[in-house]
Amino acid sequence: MLKFIKGNLEQIDGVEIYPIISLLIFFIFFSALFWWVFTAKKDHIEEVSNIPLNDEAITNNDIKL
């Protein structure tokens, strides 16, 4: 199976850049996510973590389906 994919990809000019781009996107995304997690304010984290337990939104009809 791999020989069919490899044979087709060898004929594309500049195909070697795609794995590098995908690695960079992966690394940048998870680095940014890691940075956001450690710099997020604790109040925001607490507020977001309590959303499923907050019954006020349901009783006040704030949720629109």
pLDDT tens digits for 9-26? 778 888 889 889 999 999
The answer to whether the CB of 63 falls within 8 A of the CB of 57 is: yes
**How does pLDDT run across 19-60, given as a tens digit for each residue?**
899 999 999 999 999 999 899 888 888 888 888 776 665 555
Q: What is the DSSP letter of 40?
A: S
Alpha helices (runs of H) in the chain, residue ranges in sequence order: 2-9, 17-39, 42-49, 56-59
Q: Which comes out higher in pLDDT, residue 7 or 26?
A: 26
**pLDDT for position 33:** 95
